[in-house]
Structure 1
Amino acid sequence: MKGVICEQPDKLAMIDMAEPDFVQGEAIVRIRRVGICGTDMHAYRGRQPFLSYPRVLGHELSGVIERIGDNDAGLREGDPVAIIPYMHCGSCIACRKGKTNCCMELKVLGVHTDGGMRERISVPVTHLIKTEGMTLDQAAVLEPLAIGAHAVRRSGLRRGDTVLVIGGGPIGLGVMALAKAAGAQVIAMDINEERLAFSRSWAKVDHLINALQQPQERLAEITDGDFPTVVFDATGNAKSMTDSFQLVAHGGTLVYVGLVKSDIAFHDPEFHKREMTLLGSRNATPEDFVQVIRAIEAGYIDVDRYITHRASFEELISCFDSWLLPESKVIKAMVEL
């Protein structure tokens, strides 16, 4: 079968790969869609802190089961599925507490182990979600949107809260849409006016702030000086993540959704006087995937507009560099097999 491998930073190659072995308890899935995300782009550029080379990228995946044995989930050959790409050990302290998303031995497809940029992959049955009634595109974007659902759930926000989402990329947009679905008043912040406009039209946010134009003053104006009770930083930018401490209400919560290969420092008196809660939000759990399915079914998320660029599997390598360019205006690129 064919696969695309990142041999080293800035180098992708189409190669012949061995077919996956069928293992009891797993399923052979024919990959039909691969979403391209920031993790893939950072890996391609050599900036993904958990990845080594060579690596088959790709963890936003949907497909069809080609082979499966008896299983308690009732899955059968021919079923359309989305893949939960977080392979957890099941026995560490995080797994024992149900936090499989931050397992001590976590191996994410396309990061710690080879992913889904190939024609077929073997996946544990426990990591498949049947997506009957959904399109292949919808099933493939469950994973990035589930990251937003997990961040929203982890934040503890309540209906009526005023929240700020910094970063209008695909993860930040998911946070915005799911925070709106949870009943929050949402403020979007970015440095890109087109991303802000998309946040308004797609995620139905209530207010927009350009991060380069006195954001603190604008936030104070919108919130009558209270500032947002929950702030999500989905930028993966060290300066933004540091500056975000200044944007949280006293008694509020700051959630880091983005990941940066850097240290983050903050001024403790500023942190302490606000009695802030600082949270990291990593990946997602199966219940977050279910939450996204419900949000799509309820009409809160328009997947057709979320996906802005497409390529066939054969075109992937030639398109990849262009998708990295700001002028390409990519929100979500989708590869079709």
Structure 2
Amino acid sequence: MKSIVVKKPNELVIEEREVPQPAKGEVRVKVKLAGICGSDSHIYRGHNPFAKYPRVIGHEFFGIIDEVGEGVDRSRIGERVSIDPVISCGCCYPCSVGRPNVCSSLTVLGVHRDGGFSQYTTVPSNNAYTIPDDICDEFAVMIEPFTIAANATGHLKPTTDDIALIYGAGPMGLTSVQALKGVYQVKQVIVVDRIDERLAMAQTSGADLVINNSQLSLKDELEKRNIKPTIIIDAACHPTILSEAIAIASPAARILIMGFSSDPCQITQQGITSKELSIFSSRLNANKFPVVIEWLKKKMIDPQKLITHQFDYTQVVQAIETFEKDQKQCCKVLLTFS
């Protein structure tokens, strides 16, 4: 079989490997589609602090179970499945309180363990979620990106009375737009970005108002419109955003950050406690695959609005470079393996 392997930063090869055999409790998946995420690019470029090399990248993938290991019902062979990349121990404190995404011994497919950019891969059977026949392949591979929005909104608990502001109109910002509007029916969703074409994608995904802040003060613009966001999501992941978010937030607002920057940001306690703000962080997803599958069944979200490019897996370098460089037209890039 062929596998896409990052040997070391900036060295990617398509390597011939033996087809893996599933261990006890595992299934083998014949991969059909996989999605490129920013973390795949970061591993390729050597900017992911959690990755170990060499690594088969890819944590967004969909396929067909073609073999099972000991202890797994053979009736699962032939199932269409989408894979949750979060592998947890199930018994540490985070797992015991329903937070397997920050398990003390967390393993993420495509980061700590070989992932889905391969013609075949093995995964724990519990991580392979059966996809109903009425959900198409392209939507099935998009479940994992939407679980990021499901995890974030699970922390924030949006209501129809909220006014939400999202920094960043990339994939995570756009999945959050669709969740807030399509699932929670939030009164107003505002998206801020510095690229007009991305803001147009946000409008297509349901944003009520978009703001290009490349030449203006967001704080001044919101004050001029008398807008005080009650929910703020930082999907742009820049360390300077938190201080601004605190300044523009409504009293009693909820702020959520997704970024992994190690750069310090300056905030004051007074800014937070004077408004009694709640600040959350969100990483990966905590058992949100069934949630997003239900969203798809009820047509609350539309992944097609985010899919802009498809490449054969043999064109993976071109696909990643398109994802990295074409910020105006590119959102989600899919690789085909069959």
After TM superposition, the score normalised by the length of structure 2 is 0.93
The equivalent of 1:190 in structure 2 is 193
Give the aligned CA root-mean-square deviation in angstroms. 1.9
Tell me how far 1:69 sits from its aligned partner. Answer: 5.2
**Structure-2 separation of matches of 1:84 and 1:76:** 17
8 Å Cα contact 1:13/1:317 also seen in 2 = no
Letter in 1 for 2:7: E
**Structure-1 separation of matches of 2:222 and 2:295:** 28
Matches within 5 A, 1:271-310: 271-286=272-287, 288-310=288-310
Matches within 5 A, 1:80-91: 80-91=80-91
The equivalent of 1:110 in structure 2 is 110
**Structure-2 separation of matches of 1:319 and 1:111:** 19
**Structure-2 separation of matches of 1:167 and 1:124:** 33
The equivalent of 1:8 in structure 2 is 8
**Structure-2 separation of matches of 1:45 and 1:240:** 24
**Structure-2 separation of matches of 1:298 and 1:37:** 25
Answering whether residue 281 of structure 2 is matched by residue 269 of structure 1, we say: no
* Pair 1:267–1:83, CA change in 2 (3 A): same
Tell me how far 1:74 sits from its aligned partner. Answer: 8.7
Tell me how far 1:7 sits from its aligned partner. Answer: 1.5
Equivalent residue of 1:149, what SS? helix
* CA displacement, residues 214-255 of structure 1 (integer Å, 9 cap, x when unaligned): 211222344x35x11110001122223443222211111110
The equivalent of 1:239 in structure 2 is 240
Equivalent residue of 1:67, what SS? strand
**Structure-1 separation of matches of 2:255 and 2:184:** 17
8 Å Cα contact 1:49/1:261 also seen in 2 = no
The equivalent of 1:326 in structure 2 is 326
Identity %: 29
The equivalent of 1:172 in structure 2 is 173
The equivalent of 1:35 in structure 2 is 35
* CA displacement, residues 124-150 of structure 1 (integer Å, 9 cap, x when unaligned): 111111013222211111001110111
**Structure-2 separation of matches of 1:4 and 1:327:** 24
Tell me how far 1:108 sits from its aligned partner. Answer: 0.6
* CA displacement, residues 181-226 of structure 1 (integer Å, 9 cap, x when unaligned): 202121111111111111011x21111112222211222344x35x
* Pair 1:3–1:270, CA change in 2 (3 A): same
**Structure-2 separation of matches of 1:46 and 1:163:** 34
* CA displacement, residues 36-80 of structure 1 (integer Å, 9 cap, x when unaligned): 011111222222121132211100010000012576889611110
Unaligned runs of 5+ in 1: none
Letter in 2 for 1:196: L
Aligned residues: 333
Runs (4+) of structure 1 moved beyond 6 Å? Answer: 70-74
8 Å Cα contact 1:165/1:234 also seen in 2 = yes
Tell me how far 1:326 sits from its aligned partner. Answer: 3.3
The equivalent of 1:200 in structure 2 is 203
Tell me how far 1:289 sits from its aligned partner. Answer: 1.9
8 Å Cα contact 1:30/1:63 also seen in 2 = yes
After TM superposition, the score normalised by the length of structure 1 is 0.93
Unaligned runs of 5+ in 2: none
**Structure-1 separation of matches of 2:266 and 2:74:** 49
Equivalent residue of 1:158, what SS? coil
8 Å Cα contact 1:79/1:132 also seen in 2 = no
The equivalent of 1:210 in structure 2 is 212
8 Å Cα contact 2:167/2:236 also seen in 1 = yes
**Structure-2 separation of matches of 1:249 and 1:304:** 33
8 Å Cα contact 2:34/2:336 also seen in 1 = yes
8 Å Cα contact 1:21/1:122 also seen in 2 = yes
Letter in 2 for 1:42: H
